[in-house]
Homo-oligomer: A and B are copies of this chain.
Amino acid sequence: MNRVLQARRLGVDTYQEPVVFMRADCDICRSEGFSALARVRLTIGNASLIATLNVVHSDLLAAHEAGLSEAAWQGLLASDGAEVHVDHPEPVESFSAVRGKIYDRPLSAKDLGAVVSDIHAGRYSGLQMAAFLTACAGQRLDLDETEHLTRAMLAAGDTLHWDAAPVVDKHCVGGLPGNRTTPIVVAIVTAAGLTMPKTSSRAITSPAGTADTMETLAPVALDLAQMRSVVEREGGCIVWGGAMRLAPVDDVLIQVERPLDFDSDGQLVASVLAKKLAAGSTHVVIDLPIGPTAKLRSTADAERLGQRLSVVGSRCGVQIRLIQSDGTQPVGRGIGPAAEARDVLAVLKNHVQAPVDLRLRAIELAGAVLELGHAVAPGRGNALAAELLDSGQAWTKFQAICEAQGGLREPPAAACRHEIRARQPGVLRAIDNRKLARVAKLAGAPVAAAAGLELLVHVGDTIEMGQPLYTLLAEAQGQLDFAGAYAAAHPDIFTIEEAV
């Protein structure tokens, strides 16, 4: 029986999941009984992956062709007309552990190793990954499982080794729009002579990740050799971790998690720690913003997550220092990649209109990193951080890092802007971070780098009727309208109470 078809690049982008298009009347569909959404193994030469089948009932393809989506094409290193062997994939045995977890059977180190390795090899469908993420979401992973997941994610990628010690890092457990301290902290800390090879991720459920923001200022998709050269020259970098093979399964899961818009304590801890361990970090400061609409709702939540980070971190050999911070409102003015980048530049340049809240947070975090990394005596971190910022040494270092990464550039400006105004006067009591973040996402952030918003008020301000609360930013009118409609339908993003 002929199980070979000829590869054809269809130019269809299906994101992460490889898809193969095959004619219903082709030899293989007929003899193997494959039907739509079947999982099939494709092999070209030495490259092999599992793809989801879309069955074609038209002349879009010839019966001897296998139409490949971009993910399948690239994963198979295909060329037009190459012989594609098609057969049944082995059943994915590791998924039975996921099924067990749904019935509250704990996941062993072996289970999670197999799950992560199968995901890494492209053996899980999107549906299976969604089930795995959901089964592990909330509080469903215990400390042991979290440690196993961390080690499995670490093992599925490369690990960096640095001659310097300590190797410091910082991480913020998201949920606070605009809180873009990382580029500032790296500039301060490396200006003090510490080594901080920072790998950041793109947004999961937020309007911007550090990598998204930093990309508007300099190239971030560096490979390992490029990153190493930047760090050797400048002591630090701010690059996108996904361009390397550091805990790469994390990035695959993020693609599935994003449209679901939820997180998991265990997966969050594993994701953070695996990335840090893979980057060779030895000392990490973790910022935990707390607020009613932040990711962490209460001190209890922050302590629970912090505890998990510390314990699992210490088991895996990384020293953690936790900082709980105010998560009641956004930090800085901008929300969205380019808007946040402008805030970062203003702070580094000691601009008179630089957002004070962003500056103070960056100083506090940099101070903690300086102390944890033994660059300064305990209690003296903040003062040193402020000094490095005020003197311009941090800004000089930041420019040098950007140049080393490929060149400092200007963040893009939004083509479309629209002011959202207060519908009632009073005192601003609260801002709903989640809904405000959703507005920025509906406007196109983070995919559209210039999209997002600029916040013009803070909690505690006295607001006049009709006063602008924020400016919507978009790259296209359709997205501006769409975000504007959502904003108009949700005036409760801002709680404004009449002054008594």
Contact = CB atoms under 8 A, between A and B. Distances in A.
Interface of A: 1, 3, 9-15, 19, 21, 24, 30-33, 35-37, 39, 54-58, 60, 69-70, 87-88, 91, 95, 99, 102-104, 125-128, 130-131, 133-135, 137-139, 256, 259-262, 264, 438, 442, 444, 447-448, 451, 475-479, 482, 486
B138 A102 contact: yes
A10 B58 contact: yes
A12 B135 contact: no
A453 to B, nearest CB: 15
A36 B13 contact: yes
A240 to B, nearest CB: 17
A55 B12 contact: yes
Given A33-B476, A134-B135, A476-B32, A13 B9 contact: no
B9 A58 contact: yes
A253 to B, nearest CB: 12
Contacts of A95: 261
| 5 A-B pairs with least C-beta separation | A11-B58, A134-B134, A130-B130, A11-B57, A13-B36
B32 A479 contact: yes
Contacts of A256: 127
A138 B448 CA distance: 40
Max chain B Cβ within 10 angstroms of own Cβ: one of A55, A125, A134: A134
A55 B486 CA distance: 26
A57 B451 CA distance: 24
Contacts of A58: 9-12
Given A13-B54, A55-B13, A479-B33, A259 B102 contact: no
A11 B61 CA distance: 10
A138 B103 contact: yes
10 contacts: A1-B478, A13-B24, A19-B54, A30-B476, A32-B479, A33-B447, A91-B442, A102-B137, A130-B134, A131-B133
Given A14-B54, A32-B478, A54-B12, A127 B128 contact: no
Given A130-B127, A130-B134, A262-B102, A60 B11 contact: yes
Contact of A259 (B55, B125, B133, B138): B125
Contacts of A69: 54
Contacts of A14: 36-37, 54
A135 B30 CA distance: 37
Contacts of A35: 13, 447
A60 B60 contact: yes
A5 to B, nearest CB: 14
Contacts of A475: 33
Contacts of A55: 12-13
A259 to B, nearest CB: 6
A86 B31 CA distance: 39
B12 A438 contact: no
Nearest to A482: B88
Max chain B Cβ within 10 angstroms of own Cβ: one of A9, A19, A33, A486: A33
A246 B103 CA distance: 29
Given A1-B477, A137-B102, A15 B33 contact: no
